[in-house]
A and B are shown apart, each in its own frame.
Chain A
Amino acid sequence: MTPTAPSAEAFQPKDYKSDLKPIWCPGCGDYGVVQAIYRALAAIGRPPHEIAFISGIGCSSRIPGYTSAYGFNSVHGRALPIAQGIKIARPDLLVLAAGGDGDGFSIGGNHVPHTIRRNLDLTYIVMDNQIYGLTKGQLSPTSPRGRETVTSAYGSMEAPVNPLLYVLAFGAPFVAQGTPADMAGLASIIEEGIRYPGFAFINVESPCVTYGEEDHQLKDHRAAMIPLQSLGHDPSSRIKAMDLAQEYGTKLYTGVFYRNPTPPPTFEALTRERQEKLSAGAPPREKILDLFIQR
Chain B
Amino acid sequence: MTLRGIDFSKLSLKDALDLAILIEEEAQERYDEFSDQMDIHRTPEAAAFFRTMSGNEQRHGEELRKRRERLFPKEPRTVNRSMIFDIEAPDYDQARAFMTPRQAMQSALRSEEKAHAFFVAALPQIGDAEVRALFGELRDEEVEHQDLVKRAMAKLPPDSGPPPEGFVDDPVAQ
Contact = CB atoms under 8 A, between A and B. Distances in A.
B92 interface: yes
Interface string A182-200: 1111011001000000000
Contact of A4 (B33, B34, B80, B93): B80
A26 B80 contact: no
A209 B5 contact: no
Q: Interface of chain B, helix or strand or loop or mixed?
A: loop
Contacts of A28: 92
Interface string A1-14: 11110110100111
Contact of B95 (A4, A14, A26, A42): A26
Given A136-B173, A183-B85, A184-B2, A32 B77 contact: no
B143 interface: no
B5 A32 contact: no
B81 interface: yes
A294 interface: no
A135 interface: yes
A42 B81 contact: yes
Interface string A179-220: 011111101100100000000000000000111000001110
Contacts, number: 100
Contacts of A25: 41, 97
Contact of A134 (B6, B80, B86, B173): B173
Contacts of B41: 25-26
B74 interface: no
Nearest to B94: A27
Nearest to A220: B93
Nearest to B174: A134
Interface residues of A, number: 45
A22 interface: yes
Contacts of A6: 78-80
B173 A135 contact: yes
B93 A218 contact: yes
A27 B85 contact: no
Contacts of B39: 21
A23 interface: yes
A65 interface: no
B133 interface: no
B101 to A, nearest CB: 14
B82 A26 contact: no
A72 B5 CA distance: 35
A275 B33 CA distance: 47
B4 interface: yes
Interface string B64-91: 0000000000001111111101100001
Interface in B117-174: 171-174
A219 B173 contact: no
A1 B81 contact: no
B37 interface: yes
B29 A3 contact: no
Given A13-B81, A21-B40, A26-B97, A31 B171 contact: no
A27 B86 contact: no
Q: Closest 7 CB pairs between A and B? A: A3-B5, A26-B95, A184-B2, A218-B93, A136-B173, A183-B85, A184-B85
Interface of A: 1-4, 6-7, 9, 12-14, 21-29, 31-32, 35, 39, 42-43, 59, 134-137, 180-185, 187-188, 191, 209-211, 217-219
25 contacts: A2-B5, A3-B4, A3-B5, A6-B78, A6-B79, A7-B76, A7-B77, A14-B29, A21-B37, A23-B40, A26-B38, A26-B99, A31-B37, A31-B95, A35-B92, A42-B81, A42-B82, A135-B173, A135-B174, A136-B171, A180-B93, A183-B86, A184-B85, A217-B93, A219-B93
Interface of B: 2-6, 29, 33-34, 36-41, 43, 76-83, 85-86, 91-97, 99, 171-174
